Amino acid sequence: MASICVFKRYEYKYLLTAEQYFAVLNEIEKHMAADKYGKSTIQSLYYDTDDYLLARRSLEKPMYKEKLRMRSYCQAKDDDEVFLELKKKYDGVVFKRRIELTAAQAEHGLFDCVRALPDQISKEITYAIDMYKTLAPKILLLYDRTAYFGKDDESGLRVTFDTNIRYRMDRLTMCGGTDGKPVRTDGKILMEVKAGASIPLWLCRLISSLGIRKTSFSKYGTAYTIEHDNIFTEVKQVG
């Protein structure tokens, strides 16, 4: 394990048309700097119970919800870093605890590895593992992301754009390729605005002027819904 991280911030999501995307991008580049890695493929492997309790709770939009996921910023090899994250959201505020592991550790005896770590974050993750009892890898989300950061490092502002959002329920590994079924087919781009405090006025004005509305779109929840509907349809046809 190389590092332990804790985040607390506000996160807002918006679905953009291509026209809105280019208008936002034109303005954002005046105020923010692009991630030095450019566009990258994010992989997020979600853990859930046998009956998908965490996915169902997420779709219900409760005051408090949490998710456990493994995240990689590339198609990982054994020695590459991945992050096990416990993400909690309460009353609009996102709290994220994560520990860094190697892909090999994530593939072999992950929960035992976490239990053996002495730090507080690992204990919190272990508590979640024990509480939900049947947690296991369920759905792998993949998407192509471009990220921008506030030029003022103290602002904590981050804006990301996700395209080609896809998922799969087999090959639940960070090392199994980046293909998957589409989560969206309408061509819209997911913009996420993340800030430690308030969103800057220039960005608020930009979003308002383009008629962009906040959404509660959940990648994981949507993928679960697609599969749930498919299973229901198949059962109905057989019946």
CATH of the domain at 77: 3.20.100.30
- Which tops the pLDDT comparison, 114 or 6? 114
Query: Whole-angstrom Cα distance, residue 198 to residue 148?
Result: 17
Whether the predicted pLDDT of 77 surpasses 70: yes
> 108 vs 142, which has greater pLDDT?
142
Tell me the pLDDT tens digit for each residue of 147-178.
Answer: 999 877 656 899 999 999 999 999 999 888 99
Q: Residue 131: which domain range?
A: 4-238
- 90 vs 92: CA distance, rounded Å: 5
Rounded Cα gap, residues 69 and 87, in angstroms? 8
The number of domains in the chain is 1
Q: Tell me: the pLDDT tens digits for 3-59?
A: 558 888 999 999 999 999 999 999 999 999 998 777 899 999 999 999 999 999 989
166 close to 182: Cβ distance less than 8 angstroms: yes
Band the pLDDT of 76: cuts 50, 70, 90: confident
> d(Cα 14, Cα 193) in Å, to the nearest integer?
8
CA dist., res. 60 & res. 218, Å (int): 11
Amino acid in position 62:
P
